[in-house]
Amino acid sequence: MAMLEVEDLNVRFYTEDGVVKATNDLSYRVEAGERFGVVGESGAGKSVTSLALMRLIDEPGVIESGEIRFKGRNLLEMDEKEMRELRGNEIAMIFQDAETALNPSYTVGEQISEAIRYHLGLDEAAARERAIETLESVGIPSAAQRYSDYPHEFSGGMQQRVVIAIALSCDPDLIIADEPTTALDVTIEAQILELLEEIATEFDTAIQLITHDLGVVAEFCDRVMVMYAGHPVEMAPVEDVYYDPQHPYTVGLMSSIPRIGDDRDRLQTIPGRMPDLIEMPPGCNFHPRCPYAEESCTRVEPPLVDVETGEPADPINSDAQAAACLAHTGELSGELDYEVTVRGEDDPAVPGDAPSSAGVSDR
Amino acid sequence: MSLQRFVIKRALITIPLLLGISLLTFGMVHAIPGDPIDFITLFTELDPETEMEIRAEYGLDQPVYIQYIDWVTSAATGDFGRSIITRDPVISEIMERLPYTLVMGIMAFGVTLATAIPTGVIAAYYRNTKIDQASRVFALLGIAIPNFLLGLLLLLVFASWLDLFPILPPTSQGIVSYDMLVYTLLPAITIGTGSTALLMRLMRSSMVEELDKDYVRTARAKGLPERTVVQKHVLRNSLISVVTVAAIQVAFIISGSVVVEIVFSYPGIGRLLVNRVGNRDFPVIQAIVLLIGVAVILANFVADVLYAYLDPRIRY
């Protein structure tokens, strides 16, 4: 049994314009100590998924069906009190924009130690001690003095460290990091990712990293789930996704990454935009943007299948690469016609991790 | 900058403000048409010599700026001269009535805050429900109804029909008596209703805005109980904008007391002011107007300090 198992999760938003299907039959798992990446464009359902794990979806959103099992217990059957004991204690969250995620009128120390006092039952002094240690562990210099500073007295990168410190303060088993580096510049981003990596290794904390940045995923994650319009379209260990993507959307995402040494004038993009989540296109959600779409794609909704066998995938129990494309169920007459070039191995001019320099090009 | 330094700095700013208020008060009272001498002598014809004597007694023979300096320096020691009408010292006339107005004002402000903040919070938390709509209707009524009309209605219903209060204040017992304090509730509610309505809606909108902010989600994600999230995190930030407006409401409560004291025959300084305006009793008028000005400045000072206490970003 994995630490976190999400099965057939359906989140709906009942708006005046209609029902928004934010996630559709979403299933995945995160093992203890694992780094799991969730990738997709804005609106793909990544953040909704993470808020669903915390049961913090606001009106008019509801978790309609499915199960979220954390250490074997279904979170959706817990009462509010049990859920509160989990939040911030066993499952913690790192938010995107640290500046707004912190309360401007309390000191950062208070914002860290209030959770410690609440969950661990420590008194004021002990909680303060622990909060200062946490601040030190996320690399805030002279943490004891900075404990009494207010968020506006910190820089953006330091604020993000404080937000991470809040998440870390009660030693959670799972951290959900929702685009933790989007608001930061590249050098700070690298530092923050390094910090998260240290934390994951040192405390054996599982991290579900939500991002739209495939480069970040390549560097950080063990396994990755690519989401499109509330559906998982591809799920696999990170190397497989980079060296051998099996869904046209993943391919599109990868070829959209600008690379050093690339002599194209324009950035590659995926034409079109994500469908309206209220009125999804029939068949495969991606077909209107897919260069390989055929007639059958407009009719049949592709299930997530094991790309080797074509059998329905089991993302909760299996690590096998899975994709939701008719090419793998044998219903497509053509083939996915692209090739993956791997630079770095035989091209010493491009340094860095092999996966991050894998590229995809249409033939 | 520490809170302490902020308070000192802000306190120093009140000095020129107080001077400005005194100048304005003096200037306005002297701009009222009519010669005070006529009211002192009750419009009797005087020979020029007697007139000069009376003018000298009240300092009216001096140039205006000398009159001002004399007035400010003695006012600073609590000496506002004598009333033209009763010939009693102004300060004793005011001190006799000030406790009544103070108690009524504090009660009005207390009723306002005690009603507006909780109802605003509830309306925000249950926004766009029946509760919120009911509070909106009440707020509109509260803002729309004039003080004097509300006062008369309250008297009619609670004093005349239900007989819960006497129609006239039981003044003979003094302000620190149970009967008088109970009676004071009526004018206090009358004055406070408009402010309550306004502050309640402000509290609601400020709270709705704060509830949507990311830090609320952070607080919930820490696993804090909803009560802590709202009372500790949201309320404090919502109060920041409410505090400023609440301070301005102090001014409305003071000016409202003038009308309401007449309606309730309440023995406070508001009624004294109205009586003496008709008689051009300018030493009394000046003293009361100055007092009101000082009260408003003080209220704003307190508001600014509270503001800085609530929002650490202000102190810089």
A243 and A326 together in one domain: yes
A51 in a structural domain: no
Which residue has better confidence, A229 or B280? A229
Contact B215 A103 (CB under 8 A): yes
A167 and A249 together in one domain: no
- A165 neighbors A138 (Cβ within 8 angstroms): yes
Mutate to test the interface with A, among B6, B129, B211, B215 (most CBs of A within 10 A): B215
A109 in a structural domain: yes
The stretch B95-119 carries a mean pLDDT of: 92
pLDDT reported for residue A353: 42
User: Which B residues in the span 21-60 are in contact with A, Cβ-Cβ below 8 Å?
Assistant: none
B146 in a structural domain: yes
User: Any long-range contacts for A337-342 (C-beta under 8 Å, 24+ apart)?
Assistant: A337/A292, A337/A362, A337/A363, A338/A251, A338/A362, A338/A363, A339/A363, A340/A243, A340/A244, A340/A245, A342/A243
pLDDT reported for residue A201: 87
Tens of pLDDT, residues A96-148: 888 899 999 999 999 999 999 999 999 999 999 999 999 998 889 999 999 99
CB-closest option in B214, B224, B312 to A101: B214
Contact A54 B237 (CB under 8 A): no
For B127, nearest residue in chain A (alpha carbons): A59
Structure tokens at A317: 């129990």
Q: Domain limits at B130? A: 93-282
* Banded model confidence at residue A361, pLDDT cuts 50, 70, 90: low
Look up the CATH number of the domain holding residue B273.
1.10.3720.10
B258 in a structural domain: yes
B36 in a structural domain: no
Question: Quick check: B201 pLDDT over 90?
Answer: yes
A316 in a structural domain: yes
d(CA A304, CA A233): 7
Per the structure, how many domains does chain A have?
2
Q: How many residues does chain B have?
A: 316
Contact B237 A105 (CB under 8 A): yes
Interface predicted TM-score (ipTM) of this complex, two decimals? 0.85
Per 3-state DSSP, what percentage of chain A is helix, strand, and coil (rounded to 5)?
A: 35, 25, 45
User: Which residues of chain A are at the B interface, by a Cβ-Cβ cutoff of 8 Å?
Assistant: 54, 56, 84-89, 92-93, 95, 97, 100-106, 111, 114-115, 118-119, 150, 152, 163, 166
Per the structure, how many domains does chain B have?
1
* Banded model confidence at residue A359, pLDDT cuts 50, 70, 90: low
B206 in a structural domain: yes
pLDDT reported for residue A343: 63
Smallest Cα–Cα separation from A284: which of A272, A301, A268?
A: A301
A218 in a structural domain: no
Task: Please identify which residue in the block is written with the tokens 């005690």.
Answer: B114
Tens of pLDDT, residues A177-194: 998 888 778 888 888 888
Question: Quick check: A360 pLDDT over 70?
Answer: no
Task: For chain A, say whether B225 makes contact (Cβ under 8 Å).
Answer: yes
- A49 neighbors A25 (Cβ within 8 angstroms): no
pLDDT reported for residue B253: 85
B7 in a structural domain: no
State how far residue A236 is from chain B, nearest Cα, in angstroms.
Answer: 29
Smallest Cα–Cα separation from A241: which of A344, A319, A131?
A: A319
Smallest Cα–Cα separation from B5: which of B240, B285, B314?
A: B314
pLDDT reported for residue B182: 87
* Banded model confidence at residue A352, pLDDT cuts 50, 70, 90: very low
Contact B223 A101 (CB under 8 A): no
- Backbone φ and ψ of B79, nearest 5°: -100, 110
* Banded model confidence at residue B109, pLDDT cuts 50, 70, 90: very high
Percent of chain A with pLDDT over 90: 47
**Among the listed ranges A22-26, A118-122, A273-277, B67-71, which one has the minimum average pLDDT value?**
A273-277
pLDDT reported for residue A357: 44
* Banded model confidence at residue A349, pLDDT cuts 50, 70, 90: very low
A223 in a structural domain: no
Question: How many contacts does A have with B, using Cβ atoms within 8 A?
Answer: 74
Contact B233 A106 (CB under 8 A): yes
Smallest Cα–Cα separation from A287: which of A229, A203, A202?
A: A229
A293 in a structural domain: yes
Q: Which of A171, A191, A207 is the last residue of a domain?
A: A171
pLDDT reported for residue A82: 93
Across-strand partners of A65?
A: A10
pLDDT reported for residue A144: 93
A167 and A241 together in one domain: no
A92 in a structural domain: no
State how far residue B133 is from chain A, nearest Cα, in angstroms.
Answer: 19
Question: Quick check: B153 pLDDT over 60?
Answer: yes
CB-closest option in A104, A152, A166 to B222: A166
A311 in a structural domain: yes
Task: For chain A, say whether B63 makes contact (Cβ under 8 Å).
Answer: no
Q: Domain limits at A241? A: 228-362
For B240, nearest residue in chain A (alpha carbons): A105
